[in-house]
Structure 1
Amino acid sequence: EHKNDDLMHVLSAGKSKIFFYLLYILSQFYN
């Protein structure tokens, strides 16, 4: 179960990274 918790942590971290990356791309378009 501990491995599963680590996996969820990695997935949530990856989602936030993608989210901020998309925000960065959008800011480039609007500048």
Structure 2
Amino acid sequence: MKTFREIKVWQKAMDFVTKLYQHTREFPKDE
């Protein structure tokens, strides 16, 4: 059985969250 970190859906979700965080970090503080 694969661990949850090996599942492709998990990997894609983590990539998405990382990219989303990088973009939202650039927003002004009052947003």
**For this structure pair, what is the TM-score category when the shorter chain's length is used for normalisation?**
0.5 to 0.7
Give the root-mean-square deviation of aligned CA atoms: 2.1
- Return 5+ residue gaps in structure 1 as ranges: none
Mark the runs of 5 or more structure 2 residues left unpaired by the alignment. Answer: none
Report which structure shows greater RCO (CA 8 Å, sep ≥6): 2
Q: Which has the higher helix share?
A: 1
Q: Following superposition, which runs of at least 4 residues in structure 1 exceed 4 angstroms of deviation?
A: none
Normalized against structure 1, the TM-score is what? 0.62
